[in-house]
Structure 1
Amino acid sequence: MRNSKGSLIRPTSLPESASRPVVTPLSPSVVYASETPDALDAQYEGRVHGYTYSREGHPNADVVAARLDAMEGMPGGVVTASGMAAVSAVLLGLLKTGDHVIGGKQLYGRSLRLMAEDLPRLGIRTSLADPGNVDAVRAEIRPDTRLLLVEAVSNPTLNVADIHGLAALCKEHGLLLAVDNTFTTPRGFRPFDHGADIVIHSITKLLAGHSDVMLGYVVARDPALNERLRVFNVTTGLTPSPFDCWLAERGMLSFELRFDRAQQTAAALADHLAALPGVARVIYPMRTDHPDHDRAVALLGARGCNMVSFELNGGRAAANAFTRAADGLSFAPTLGDVGTTLSHPASSSHRALTPENREALGLREGFFRVSVGLEDADTLKRVFSDAVAAAMAG
């Protein structure tokens, strides 16, 4: 098509340049033009690399995938539109009607909902078990069990899975071990080094780090599984936005610095909270009073990550008073931001569970999850001291 001056509306090529951009260009184009049908065949048949339609892949997603592939030490990863899209790609893309899957009983709330409601509706049977107890997981294995999904460190109770024991169990029974590594990140833990078959991330969280991106990632040890995950992602439209990928790459450039700073502050905040009157318990993997402390040290070394959970005395009334008094902290159902955020599982991530089920998980009304950001440790200690005191006074 020509405009009034007779020139083509779409240029046939970009301006030539003897230099290259330092920053990855944003590529929002939905479609890509090929020179000939033969050239398009070569792309689809894998003889040359190229892009066709952004649902099938685009440059910004490939840049992010390559970075995470290098961080996890496994090629072939797929970037998805969200962390839950990555979880769904594993459970729906690799399982079929009649299969059985075991999940850790303290998975993220939406993962639990997927296991409890959606998979059974499609004829995929599910059960839950404590990932810190290999015998409990073993008791749930059936002839049709195909996969075990766990979090290295659980959300939000920070229990540490027995990854070594679970990897041996899965190998013994021919099961796939999928590990959600969102909390720990590759900086804290690399599941493939410990026997995992599949690794999942919510890039939205600490990897991107600025609460302005919605992305996920999944990669498998077996290239054939990666291809199945890729095809499922394309077919079901779990495609990530180029802009979100562009933002995520920018965030990932500072990821290691942010992770180290936040986890150092988290350790100091955990010890501070434990000494405050009105705090019933504090959960942080590097504290010696954590029930999985020895396992945490064996898996994570000194990297306890940036998440701290604690419980206030006083239930919901204390929880409301605490959030009102936590001046400058965002009460929001997220984690991994540059700023410290507070999450209340009973009213957010795990609200769909019955009170009895939340009680069984230890998620009482006074329970909070803290995602520690980049603030000065002394400043955070002061804010938390004032907020806890206000909660107890209220």
Structure 2
Amino acid sequence: MVEQQVGSWSARTRAIVAGRPSGQGQPMNVPIVPASTLGLDYSREQGTPTWEALETAIGDLEGGTATAFASGIATVSAVLDLLPVGAGVAVPTDSYAGTRALFGRAERAGRISVRQVEPADTGAWAKAAAEADLLWLESPTNPSLDLVDVPAVAEAAAASARRPTVVVDNTFATPLGSRPLSQGADVVVHSATKLIGGHSDLLLGLAVTADETLAARLREARTLGGATPGALEAWLALRGLRTLPVRYTEASRTAALLADRLTAHAAVTRVRYPGTGTMIAFELAGADTADQVCHRLRLIRHATSLGGVETTVERRAARPGDAQVAPGLLRLSVGLEDPDDLWHDLSAALST
């Protein structure tokens, strides 16, 4: 049996105890349940105890009912399945390339129409709320770390006669940095591959909503689409969640220090850091310079993913679908290494 409520404890405590088995003689942790069927039903139809524990814990932290998916992009696809043919979708001009690619494919197939909105332009979001069926937000955005005024956009959506669904990708902020459902959003999504998992060893996505009708539709999309998480992946994501508060706090402290030092470095033309969190975006003179810095780094890994215990860097404009990003922008995901070691590696690469 999974504990459903953990009272009024802090998020740090709830991340550790939510979803644990309760009752005398129960194991400390929910076991991995690698079952394809449970009684007369497939596990994809009713879930497994491992999924349930993860969903309970994330749902508690975000304030809604959670549904786990095979990956972050599978979660986006399930949200897309909620829309009728011909629906209008508004997305930030700066946002995860995989999400924009998925929406773009749906638009080319005639399923939806897509408009792009500057992340910080609240007035443009309000206008989109009057015309679109779905507002897809990221705050901070990936990779440029722009901020969206989620409460203001949600308020505009609620006041609109069209009443578009407001979805927030909360992967960068995590439930510790932001709780969009409490700010008026309808659905929150995560790539648990990133900070929630925290160890670069799994693919998994999550959607959370306080609307039980939406929750049922998301679960139906998972069941019929077959986008079910693996038993091991769900267990690893739950284990990663247990240490998220400590990892997030420590990595954010290091990120703030590195952001200050990068701001003062002569080779850096701009630093984008929202003041909290584990992600930094900083710009250099151009693509060649940024590529050279990536190749000179010895401790920091040149890799595409993020949110793990190891610090990684990537020039996003070099990736397909991110041509709109400044050519010299590097996205830095700060991990748990010693801050001075990270700065020594960065400063050496920047100064060569």
1:20 Cα deviation after fit: 3.3
2:18 corresponds in structure 1 to none
1:316 Cα deviation after fit: 2.6
TM score, norm. by length of structure 1? 0.80
**SS in structure 1 of the partner of residue 103 of structure 2:** helix
Q: Which has the larger radius of gyration?
A: 1
1:310 pairs with 266, 274, 282, which one? 282
1:82 Cα deviation after fit: 0.7
Q: Which amino acid aligns with 1:318?
A: T
1:170 corresponds in structure 2 to 157
1:142 Cα deviation after fit: 5.3
Say whether the 8 Å CA contact 2:129–2:135 is kept in structure 1. Answer: no
2:30 corresponds in structure 1 to 24
1:122 Cα deviation after fit: 4.0
2:321 pairs with 352, 364, 372, which one? 352
Matches within 5 A, 1:62-211: 62-74=52-64, 76-92=65-81, 94-141=82-129, 143=131, 145-173=132-160, 174-211=163-200
Write the deviation string for residues 19-60 of structure 1: whole angstroms up to 9, x where unpaired.
4322321111111235xxxxxxxxxxxxxxxxx312221121
Matched, 1:320 2:291: yes
Write the deviation string for residues 315-348 of structure 1: whole angstroms up to 9, x where unpaired.
2321232112111211111110001011211122
Distance in 2 (CA, whole Å) between partners of 1:25 and 1:140 is 45
1:33 pairs with 29, 35, 39, which one? 39
Distance in 1 (CA, whole Å) between partners of 2:95 and 2:49 is 32
Say whether the 8 Å CA contact 2:129–2:156 is kept in structure 1. Answer: no
Say whether the 8 Å CA contact 1:79–1:218 is kept in structure 2. Answer: yes
Distance in 1 (CA, whole Å) between partners of 2:118 and 2:241 is 32
Q: Which amino acid aligns with 1:53?
A: Y
Say whether the 8 Å CA contact 2:86–2:111 is kept in structure 1. Answer: yes
2:50 pairs with 55, 60, 85, which one? 60
Matched, 1:364 2:329: no
Distance in 1 (CA, whole Å) between partners of 2:106 and 2:298 is 39
Distance in 2 (CA, whole Å) between partners of 1:220 and 1:55 is 20
Distance in 1 (CA, whole Å) between partners of 2:91 and 2:230 is 29
Matched, 1:253 2:224: no
Q: Which amino acid aligns with 1:30?
A: S
Distance in 2 (CA, whole Å) between partners of 1:205 and 1:279 is 26
Say whether the 8 Å CA contact 1:131–1:166 is kept in structure 2. Answer: no
1:43 corresponds in structure 2 to none
**SS in structure 2 of the partner of residue 149 of structure 1:** strand
Say whether the 8 Å CA contact 1:120–1:126 is kept in structure 2. Answer: no
Distance in 2 (CA, whole Å) between partners of 1:19 and 1:230 is 31
Write the deviation string for residues 286-332 of structure 1: whole angstroms up to 9, x where unpaired.
2xxxxxxxxxxxxxxxxx1000010112x232123211211121111
1:118 Cα deviation after fit: 2.2
**SS in structure 2 of the partner of residue 279 of structure 1:** coil
Matched, 1:223 2:229: no
Distance in 2 (CA, whole Å) between partners of 1:271 and 1:236 is 45
Percent identity, aligned pairs only, is 36
2:226 corresponds in structure 1 to 237
Write the deviation string for residues 208-265 of structure 1: whole angstroms up to 9, x where unpaired.
1000010010022210011011001110011000110111111111110000000000
Q: Which amino acid aligns with 1:105?
A: T
Q: Which amino acid aligns with 1:333?
A: T
How many residues align? The count is 326
Matched, 1:334 2:321: no
1:6 corresponds in structure 2 to none
Q: Which amino acid aligns with 1:113?
A: A
Write the deviation string for residues 70-104 of structure 1: whole angstroms up to 9, x where unpaired.
11011x21000111111111122x10112111112
Gaps of 5+ in 2: 1-23
Write the deviation string for residues 105-161 of structure 1: whole angstroms up to 9, x where unpaired.
211011111222324414211111123212212333555x21111012100111110
**SS in structure 2 of the partner of residue 282 of structure 1:** strand
TM score, norm. by length of structure 2? 0.89
Distance in 1 (CA, whole Å) between partners of 2:58 and 2:314 is 27
Say whether the 8 Å CA contact 2:188–2:209 is kept in structure 1. Answer: yes
Distance in 1 (CA, whole Å) between partners of 2:193 and 2:329 is 23
Query: Per the alignment, do residues 238 and 119 of structure 1 end up closer, same or farther by CA in structure 2, a change over 3 Å counting?
Result: farther
